[in-house]
Structure 1
Amino acid sequence: MRELNILFSSILYFTRLSLPFKVEYRKENQQLALTWFPLVGAIVGGLAALVFWLMSLYLPHTVAVIVSLGASVLVTGAFHEDGFADVCDAFGGGYSKDQRLKIMKDSRVGAYALIGVVILFALKIALLIEIQPLWIPVILITSHVLSRWSTLIISMGWNYARPTEESKSRDTSHPISWVRFFGATGLGLLPFLLFDSWWVLVTIPVVTLFSWLAGSWFQKRIGGYTGDCLGSVQQVNEVLVMASLLLVIGH
């Protein structure tokens, strides 16, 4: 029962989805929410895939892609996109650790954030419209799952940059155990069963390498990571998974 409570807490924290029953809030369960982050990705990706399939029955391919991306944003409340935007502003306009951390807490949207988000979604659209429609639902699910798993690499390998009492993410800023990490890794690998080629596994070292490089960079610039940093890594790795799978399965 406790694991179910942790799973439900993860769904409520990382998405805008509501559950038909009350979930008891416990701080210790919230701290373990990252365990189920890949499964949350499967839910978000699955809903985006469903929207794409429904839209593709009546609308052009490109329109269906854009609507499916919009659906994923609505499901998460732009949770990770907001983190990506904050990181763009902080590291684009900040020149010291304190300044970067301050900018990330600023709710205003700057030029770096706006340009970054536009490029981010342009890349997603450009990649997805090059993929055969039959593969898009599978790739949406895989990219959402694996990109969320990749954030665990940073949370396990580096320290949180802010004093936890100052952070909105203080209840999820603690690293999970290695047992839970490997359990989450198992969840992250499940979407690959949907493919008929082992070459798709090339995405794993791709997102692992980027996560390690990003974690090292965050450590050098701000002394660790923040929730916004995790959101930015998730978004970039989502694009990297799409690009890698496009190269592997072809057009």
Structure 2
Amino acid sequence: MQKIWLEWETAVQFLTRIPWPTPHLSLQKFDADRFVRSVKWYPYVGILIGGILYVFACGLYRWFPAPVASILVLLAEIAITGGLHLDGLMDTADGMMSGRDRERKLEIMKDSRVGAMGVIAFVSLFALKWSLLSEVSVKFPLLLLIMPSIGRLTMVWAIAKYPPARREGMGVSIAGRLSSTQLLAANLALILPLAVWQLHGVLIVLVCAAVMWAFASWIYRSIGGLTGDSYGFLCETAEVVFLLASVGIMAI
């Protein structure tokens, strides 16, 4: 039981800035094997994040107009995650949209400075996400609970199925090291959207899977693998694709 708790704690501390009661257990002493095993908990950390956002939103959408409440919800999500995946989104956009060769793209992605394409990607995604939340959160508040889980499940699949693009970095430590049992455990998080929305849920998941496979394959073909920044890019993009698919399919 303690082993499972340590894995869960590692995932929470890595993916969020949530104050944790036992910070001495997980991340102060890095354990590579435990870090790999913790990956299967990423979708469930997403549910934790979504639960906090859902509770937060229940009050905000009562007190404020939907556009204002949606901005505050997005800011709350950034505060919870520390903007971890947004950083990956911007770095990946800078590299992938640079039009350079593989090595130069990897250098750009590793640069801590944000370029024009990174800013454009962030602003575009933030605006789209805000407009979608303004439209659907009042009608379908459970989207907030499920959205972060879908994003982090996309990360799990990317980690499991694509090789690392570099010889060092986070991707090397975890890419391709997930067992089929770990992948199955992560996929059980899909029970929630499928149980809530049934056929609509199946369609939403299939759309998300197809679009995110296309994005991951595009990155793989361009730089020969995925990086830690790529995982963040896929997580953030998957959340928006999930909202887009939900808006379209729920209207059927």
TM-score w.r.t. the length of structure 2 is 0.92
Contact 2:45 2:149 in 1 (8 A): yes
Letter in 2 for 1:201: V
Which of residues 140, 150, 172 in structure 2 aligns to 1:146?
150
| Residue number in structure 1 paired with 2:202 | 201
Contact 1:142 1:192 in 2 (8 A): no
Contact 1:169 1:227 in 2 (8 A): yes
Which of residues 20, 24, 32 in structure 2 aligns to 1:27?
32
Structure 1 position 191, deviation (Å): 3.6
| Residue number in structure 2 paired with 1:53 | 58
Which of residues 112, 120, 135 in structure 1 aligns to 2:140?
135
Kindly report the root-mean-square deviation, in angstroms, between the aligned alpha carbons of the 2 structures: 1.8
Q: Aligned equivalents of 1:157 and 1:224: distance in 2?
A: 10
Matches within 5 A, 1:60-139: 60-131=65-136, 133-136=138-141, 138-139=142-143
| Residue number in structure 1 paired with 2:186 | 184
Q: Aligned equivalents of 2:205 and 2:60: distance in 1?
A: 30
Contact 1:192 1:200 in 2 (8 A): yes
Secondary structure, aligned partner of 1:108: coil
| Residue number in structure 2 paired with 1:249 | 250
Structure 1 position 189, deviation (Å): 2.9
Structure 1 position 132, deviation (Å): 5.4
Contact 2:136 2:247 in 1 (8 A): yes
Q: Aligned equivalents of 1:41 and 1:20: distance in 2?
A: 19
Secondary structure, aligned partner of 1:4: helix
Matches within 5 A, 1:137-176: 138-164=142-168, 167-168=169-170, 170-176=172-178
Q: Aligned equivalents of 2:199 and 2:227: distance in 1?
A: 34
Contact 1:31 1:174 in 2 (8 A): no
Structure 1 position 23, deviation (Å): 1.7
- Relative to structure 1, the CA distance from residue 49 to residue 190 in structure 2 (aligned partners, 3 Å threshold; closer, same or farther) is same
| Residue number in structure 1 paired with 2:8 | 7
Letter in 2 for 1:236: T
- Relative to structure 1, the CA distance from residue 141 to residue 116 in structure 2 (aligned partners, 3 Å threshold; closer, same or farther) is same
Contact 1:33 1:172 in 2 (8 A): no
Q: Aligned equivalents of 2:178 and 2:38: distance in 1?
A: 9
Q: Aligned equivalents of 2:109 and 2:191: distance in 1?
A: 32
Identity over aligned residues, as a percent? 26
TM-score w.r.t. the length of structure 1 is 0.92
**How many correspondences in the alignment?**
247
Structure 1 position 49, deviation (Å): 1.6
Letter in 2 for 1:175: R
Letter in 2 for 1:46: G
Unaligned residue ranges in structure 1 (runs of 5+): none
